[in-house]
Amino acid sequence: GIVQRDEECDEGDANGDGIVDGRDANAVATNFNASAPAVAAGPPAVPEPSALVLGGLVANLGMAVTLLVLRRHRWAWPRPAELRESLGFSGNVLLSRIAWYVYSNADFATAGKLLGKSLLGAYTFAWTIASMPVEKITALVTRVTPAMFAKLQDDHPALRRMLLNLTEGLVYLTLPASLGMAVVADEFVRLALGPQWDAAVLPLRVLCLYAGLRSVVTLLPQILIAKHDHAFLRTNGLATALVLPV
């Protein structure tokens, strides 16, 4: 259960939108407490997949009960009129992220269909290496920027200044790393993987250049969400998911 929860935290950091907070640490601790007696007693009586699911359910149930005990709330039926704005916001953000997943993986489907499995493997490796600097650096920034943008959502000059400064910082960090990898792509592939992976050199160079420019637009979706322009984010994402694969 501990490994499962840790992997979920890592996945939240990798997508650029995920925010890992104290709730993950609490869930890990609760999961550990729920799993410790079973480990001490020896092999579990239930199959391993069931034990993993049960550990996650016990962790979330324990956290919910603890919150209700520490801060009591009256039970009430939901009121659709009061929830309409929140549900609309959540729906637009959810659709935009689903669309992002579709169009961000469309190139892999196209490469696999047109180029075959071997070249798809080379392209996938090139994408992973080229995206690594951008994803690792931007993940550290995007964990804290949503709260900062939300605080300044009504102060347009301050919001514009913060976006500019953060974007410049990201570019200064990611662009040299991406350009450097593009320059030494030949030597890197042959030394790290061998000459049989020479097919990955050209896509690695092209994708490194693209990854360096991608850091410029990393924070724009968060700005649109902070400004309550999530409808445009949803529409743009759905249009991109429909057009880009074609």
- In order, the DSSP letters of 207-231 are HHHHHHHHGGGTTHHHHHHHTT-HH
Q: Predicted confidence band at 49 (pLDDT cuts at 50, 70, 90)?
A: low
Give the pLDDT of residue 54. 84
pLDDT above 90 covers a percentage of the chain that reads: 7
Q: Predicted confidence band at 32 (pLDDT cuts at 50, 70, 90)?
A: very low
Give the pLDDT of residue 161. 92
Q: Predicted confidence band at 239 (pLDDT cuts at 50, 70, 90)?
A: very high
**In one letter, which amino acid is 230?**
H
Give the list of residues 6+ apart from residue 182 with CB closer than 8 angstroms, or none: 204, 205, 208, 209
Helices in the chain by DSSP H: which ranges? 2-14, 22-40, 48-70, 80-104, 106-115, 117-142, 145-151, 156-183, 185-192, 201-214, 220-226, 230-243
Per-residue b or e along 50-66, where b marks 16 or more CB atoms closer than 10 Å to that residue's CB:
ebbebbbebbeebbeee
d(CA 174, CA 152): 26
The yes-or-no verdict on residue 39 having pLDDT over 80 is no
Give the pLDDT of residue 83. 85
* Nearest CA among 10, 214, 195, 191 for reference residue 127: 214
pLDDT above 70 covers a percentage of the chain that reads: 80
How many CA atoms within 13 Å lie on the side-chain side of 166? 24
The yes-or-no verdict on residue 45 having pLDDT over 60 is no
The mean pLDDT value for 15-29 works out to: 44
d(CA 89, CA 217): 21
Give the pLDDT of residue 10. 45
Its sign, for the CA torsion 124, 127, 129, 133, is negative
Q: Which two tokens stand for residue 17?
A: 């939108």
Give the pLDDT of residue 40. 44
Q: Which two tokens stand for residue 188?
A: 């890197």
Range with lowest mean pLDDT among 35-44, 54-63, 101-110: 35-44
Please give the residue that has the higher pLDDT: either 12 or 198: 198
* Nearest CA among 134, 113, 110 for reference residue 15: 134
Its sign, for the CA torsion 182, 163, 20, 221, is negative
190-233: pLDDT as tens digits: 888 888 888 888 888 888 888 878 878 888 888 888 888 888 98
Q: Predicted confidence band at 98 (pLDDT cuts at 50, 70, 90)?
A: very high
Give the list of residues 6+ apart from residue 33 with CB closer than 8 angstroms, or none: 62
The rounded mean pLDDT for the chain is: 78
Give the pLDDT of residue 31. 47
Give the list of residues 6+ apart from residue 148 with CB closer than 8 angstroms, or none: 162
Q: What's the distance, CA 175 to chain centroid?
A: 20
The yes-or-no verdict on residue 186 having pLDDT over 60 is yes
Place of tokens 């939108």: 17
138-176: pLDDT as tens digits: 888 888 888 889 888 888 899 999 999 998 888 888 888
